[in-house]
């Protein structure tokens, strides 16, 4: 079975792996058709991904076809095309019992804690498959990345008309923007890349953007909010410097939501934090309901994923093209692999 594995930081290798093992009760064997490349994969390639060990088969943004099922599965049948929910939870810890499987105390994420889908076939629990009769395989592979933004916006409980700032217009930031707009918020995007800011304006309809290399972000935010500052600020950069600075952007009584993950300590001035009574949220992965909602929104035409994919490659080409994709000047927004 054709497989790509990250052997160590900076080195991907192709090899023929063993066939997938026999199915256990409740499992499905799926043919991986599309694999989205995300920030987690890039951080792992650079050696900066927390909770990660090498070697590892990457890939958790998957569009798959069901080949075989063990036992009965109410949600899928052989031949279905599905998105994969790659968060493997125990089902009985305190988080799972409270309906928060994304925070499971023994959570295993495909492509991070255990081998993922950058190969031709993989076995997954059947209940982690989310089918669609109409979405393309590329659209299905994008459901997981959209779920990150969906969950973060759900955490913030945005109100229609609320001033919201999103820091970082990479793939995860774009998903946050998408669902903040869906919630009816007025969105302001901060980044240092004019190309990405332009994408937000042209493709997502964002009116107000701030390039932090040319403007003072706090002053610009105050101008755009009549001196108030945003009541919800999402940091999707994964940059400790940005995350530390994000506390300055939040209005009194507002919320700060960390969507990105940094392998670092984050610090803030406590009197400033206390005086403004800021609420701080972490947002980790997503929950099953997010996948269901996103598939329905794409099927209904409420989310257009077509402009997102800027680069494509075949699975065998990944060891060659991946180092090019991660370069700062590559222009990659979302890369898609055909397996």
- Strand partners for 129: 84
- Tell me the chain's radius of gyration from C-alpha atoms: 20
User: In CATH, what number is assigned to the domain containing residue 28?
Assistant: 3.90.180.10
Q: What is the extent of the structural domain holding 157?
A: 150-282
Residues 309 and 223 in one domain: no
Tell the residue number behind the tokens 């506390």, with chain if given: 247
pLDDT above 90: residue 246: yes
Closest CA to 15 of 55, 51, 42, 44: 55
Residues 123 and 156 in one domain: no
How confident is the model at residue 296, as a pLDDT? Answer: 97
% of the chain beyond a pLDDT of 90:
90
Whether residue 141 lies inside any domain: the answer is no
pLDDT above 90: residue 334: yes
Q: Kindly report, residue by residue over 124-177, the tens digit of the pLDDT.
A: 999 999 999 999 999 999 999 999 999 999 999 999 999 999 999 999 999 999
Question: Which sign does the torsion angle of CA 222, 223, 227, 229 carry?
Answer: negative
Whether residue 293 lies inside any domain: the answer is no
pLDDT above 90: residue 262: no
Whether residue 292 lies inside any domain: the answer is no
Residues 237 and 318 in one domain: no
Whether residue 216 lies inside any domain: the answer is yes
Residues 154 and 267 in one domain: yes
How confident is the model at residue 66, as a pLDDT? Answer: 97
pLDDT above 90: residue 33: yes
Q: What is the 3-class SS of 41-100, one letter each residue?
A: HHHHHHCCCCCCCCCECCCCEEEEEEEEECCCCCCCCCCCEEEECCEECCCCCHHHHCCC
Residues 126 and 154 in one domain: no
Q: Count CA atoms within 13 Å of residue 312 on its CB side.
A: 10
How confident is the model at residue 318, as a pLDDT? Answer: 97
- Structurally, the chain folds into a number of domains equal to 2
Whether residue 25 lies inside any domain: the answer is yes
Q: Kindly report, residue by residue over 69-89, the tens digit of the pLDDT.
A: 998 778 999 999 999 999 999
Question: Over the range 144-176, which residues count as b (16 or more CB within 10 Å of their CB) and which as e?
Answer: bbbbbbbbbbbbbebeeebbbbbbbbbbbbbbb
- 30, 110 contact by CB (below 8 A): no
Q: Kindly report, residue by residue over 278-311, the tens digit of the pLDDT.
A: 999 999 999 999 999 999 999 999 999 889 899 9
pLDDT band for 263, please (50, 70, 90 cuts): confident
Q: Kindly report, residue by residue over 39-61, the tens digit of the pLDDT.
A: 889 989 999 888 889 999 999 99
Whether residue 212 lies inside any domain: the answer is yes
Residues 173 and 85 in one domain: no
The C-alpha atoms of residue 193 and residue 93 are separated, in whole angstroms, by: 42
pLDDT above 90: residue 235: yes
Residues 181 and 277 in one domain: yes
Burial status of residue 66 (CB atoms within 10 A of its CB: 0-12, 13-18, 19 or more): buried
Residues 105 and 202 in one domain: no
Q: Which ranges of the chain does DSSP label H, i.e. alpha helix?
A: 39-46, 94-97, 137-156, 171-182, 194-204, 217-224, 240-245, 270-276, 288-299, 318-325
Residues 108 and 207 in one domain: no
Residues 97 and 9 in one domain: yes
Whether residue 108 lies inside any domain: the answer is yes
Q: Which of 17-21, 169-173, 207-211, 319-323 has the least mean pLDDT?
A: 17-21
Residues 160 and 80 in one domain: no
Backbone torsions φ then ψ of 46, nearest 5 degrees: -85, -5
User: In CATH, what number is assigned to the domain containing residue 182?
Assistant: 3.40.50.720
Q: What is the number of residues in the chain?
A: 339
How confident is the model at residue 50, as a pLDDT? Answer: 82
Tell me which of 249, 282, 315 is where a domain ends.
Answer: 282
Whether residue 323 lies inside any domain: the answer is yes
Residues 220 and 316 in one domain: no
- Does the global pTM surpass 0.85? yes
């Amino acid at each position: 079975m054709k497989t790509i594995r990250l052997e160590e930081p900076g080195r991907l290798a192709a090899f023929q792996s063993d066939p997938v093992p026999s199915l256990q009760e409740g499992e499905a064997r799926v043919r991986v058709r599309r694999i989205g490349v995300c920030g987690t994969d890039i951080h792992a390639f650079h050696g900066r991904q927390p909770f990660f060990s090498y070697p590892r088969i990457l890939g958790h943004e998957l569009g798959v076809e069901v080949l075989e099922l063990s036992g009965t599965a109410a949600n899928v049948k052989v031949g279905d095309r599905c998105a994969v929910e790659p968060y493997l939870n125990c089902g009985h810890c305190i988080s799972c019992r409270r309906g928060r499987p994304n925070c499971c105390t023994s959570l295993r994420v495909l492509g991070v804690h255990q081998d993922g889908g950058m190969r031709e076939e993989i076995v997954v629990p059947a209940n982690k498959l989310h089918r669609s009769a109409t979405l393309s395989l590329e659209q299905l592979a994008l459901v997981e990345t959209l779920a990150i933004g969906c969950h973060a916006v759900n955490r913030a409980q945005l109100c229609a008309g609320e001033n919201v700032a999103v820091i970082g217009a990479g793939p995860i930031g774009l998903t946050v923007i998408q669902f903040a707009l869906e919630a009816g918020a007025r969105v302001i995007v901060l980044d240092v890349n004019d190309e990405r800011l332009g994408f937000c304006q042209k493709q997502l309809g964002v009116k107000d953007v701030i390039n932090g290399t040319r403007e003072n972000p706090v002053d610009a935010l105050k101008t755009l909010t009549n001196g108030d500052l945003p009541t919800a600020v999402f940091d999707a950069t994964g940059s400790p410097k940005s995350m530390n600075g994000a506390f300055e952007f939040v209005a009194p009584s507002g919320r700060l939501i960390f969507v990105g993950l940094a392998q670092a300590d984050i610090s803030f001035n406590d009197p400033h934090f206390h005086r403004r009574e800021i609420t701080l949220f972490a947002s980790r992965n997503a929950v099953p309901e997010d996948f269901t909602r996103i598939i329905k929104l794409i099927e209904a035409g409420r989310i257009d994923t077509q402009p997102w994919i800027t680069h494509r490659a075949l699975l065998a080409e990944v060891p060659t093209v991946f180092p090019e994709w991660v370069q700062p000047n590559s222009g990659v927004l979302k890369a898609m692999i055909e397996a």
